[in-house]
Structure 1
């Protein structure tokens, strides 16, 4: 038998239905004496009082039950569409009780994970890097002096509730003219930034317009530039130049740093970390999406002091110019090299295989599958870090991605502190 959505826990209507039933029973019980006697006499005894209590219960049930129902409908903008009402009530009453999850990173990997997490909880905070200086984001950053919107745009769209056509519009890239390569979503953020007092306020307004689940914050409001020192000693300026120069020089990245050296992290971001049930690093580009966030002073400090569970999600594929020939442990070692006081409790890594056709495409570009090795297992064991291995491969249109739902189940399970996932079945789109 299918679950009746209207009676799911948290709707706050069941209690009034129950009270109404009690009232009806009490009222009927009080009238039974009159029906049995077939008389018209009105008793002033206990049965009359019981009847009055019953009528009062019915009134309270109707009043508060309808009030609760219409309050929910009003919060949905007055829509009476059954699917929308069920979904909004589910989000508001059920998912709002989910764990508080903070995800730190950037790029496509972060956006994919967010799409999975929003099926389990609305208490999501994405803290996104603003070191991007390439593509459309880089042009807007240079022309308008604003923070790069690309990664933030992807996170907002991942957490937003909108029609497919609207998402296509915001992701649309102009194919010619002076706007060639620029996305409409980036221009939308740039426009909102123009009418707002700062970038943070612009993102908040956009999140309200697009009904975003959770919150999306830039890691800092300061204009930061990412640098990398290669093993051969050459210093490379600019996030987009780092992997290119590394490949040209045939020299791997030794360390990255930012200027200004100690930018101020967003207050809302540090507060989210302090109040989180679990903090996630990744998935995403190791040196250009994840580590730059850890170089923001107060972000690093709150992560180091906070005893909240911390999880690193390893990339599925190596990235040319960044993580060539890296095993899982090498990714974590790079993070700890830049943030040595950080305590990582869990590492989640893929142990599934990739079909030949999709894999060959990546190999042609110089990328390889990040396999879990015995050396990885031994290294994490010595560091007292728990390694979680799972087949997380999902392939769409020959692109290799993490299975967002399976990965999200593991994260929610860790946040809840359970061996098996008992929280909720994920919603189907």
Structure 2
């Protein structure tokens, strides 16, 4: 008698690329799913505690990496709260610094070989479920040319300029050409799905893609490339942008139409809900241009991905991740009804 066993389907390999506050929202939701997650995190941040540490110790800015570590950690909540704690002391050194930032900087200095291995050690200590890869082993500088032809360097300077951005690129503190560590490229090339965002288009997502071997890998991978479009436009960065405009900028920077699928929130933000003083970078809700997306070869998944809390506008991580997981079992030829 012959016995047949049903082969087990391996968990999908999903690479999430970005930075800022949007990335941890998605990663926390992914922890509840059966998937092999790799977070590729920007290293071009130069503001706040990260910027101060970067200036004094000359390490990769740790803030975005710290938030991702906390999002994927399986430690008890009290330990994660300690790791995330930010001093409110009036002391000139401690004020504003998060404990996790100092730990990451200390491990980087102890290892002496850059931040990548330090993050891998810390990930083990924090019982991280998945992989966390700083996109580069050295700090990078974000550069921008604006619509008026002027240029600025430094992510915080660019964000504060309040001028419309034409193009961004990254440079290394050394004279070497910026490059991602091999583990990042390998993860992208062997992924089933690449997720971009959610996050600031020019200052969280593109700094990763502007590293030449990262951009090339994203264009070469057989994985489905999914862009989670922002819900709100941002001052200086994406004023009056539609969802198709966001994708157009991404495609233009990489020189080809590489986005396969776009997740779009269609739930209106209630009038006067957003606290514009607290979230002063946000302007208007992103407009929809499905025809413009179709012209760029994208399929659209449109739904209520909105979460409102504390007079802020966010993506609902669970809703987004549920849709991303469904995509791992759908063929690329599938198009939803909203798109037609």
Task: Calculate the TM-score normalised by the size of structure 2.
Answer: 0.89
SS at 2:51's partner residue? helix
Gap runs ≥5 in structure 1 = 1-93, 420-429
SS of match in other structure, 1:233: coil
User: Are residues 1:163 and 2:79 paired?
Assistant: no
Query: Would you say 1:237 and 2:149 are equivalent positions?
Result: no
Alignment match, 2:214: 299
Note the aligned Cα RMSD (angstroms). Answer: 2.0
SS in 1 for 2:122: helix
Q: Is the 8 A contact 1:262 1:295 kept in 2?
A: no
Instruction: Provide Cα deviations, 1:121-176, integer angstroms capped at 9, x if missing partner.
Output: 34000001100011000111110010000001111110001222112111111112
Task: Indicate if the aligned counterparts of 1:349 and 1:372 stay in contact, CA closer than 8 A.
Answer: no
Contact 2:59 2:138 in 1 (8 A): no
2:143 match: 227
User: Is 1:256 matched with 2:256?
Assistant: no
Alpha-carbon separation, structure 1, partners of 2:167 and 2:136: 21
More deviation, 364-373/301-310? 364-373
Shift of 1:398: 2.1
Aligned: 1:394 with 2:307: yes
Query: Alpha-carbon deviation of 1:371?
Result: 3.5
Alpha-carbon deviation of 1:372? 4.1
**Deviation sequence 1:162-221 (CA, Å, 0-9, x none):** 222112111111112021111011011112112223311100011000000100101111
Structure 2 counterpart of 1:185: 100
**Deviation at residue 232 of structure 1 after TM alignment:** 0.9
Kept after mapping to 2: 8 A contact 1:350/1:372: no
Q: Can you give the 5+ residue segments of structure 2 that lack an aligned partner in the other structure? A: 1-7, 335-340
* Greater RCO, 1 or 2 (C-alpha within 8 Å, sep 6+): 2
Structure 2 SS opposite 1:270: helix
Equivalents in 2 of 1:411, 1:146: separation in Å? 34
SS in 1 for 2:282: coil
Per-residue deviation, 1:353: 1.8
Distance in structure 1 (CA, Å) of the matches to 2:76 and 2:272: 33
- Say whether 1:195 aligns with 2:110: yes
Task: Provide the secondary structure at the position in 2 that maps to 1:161.
Answer: coil
Q: Larger Rg: 1 or 2?
A: 1
Q: How many residues end up aligned between the 2 structures?
A: 320
Q: 1:199 to 1:366 in 2, by over 3 A?
A: closer
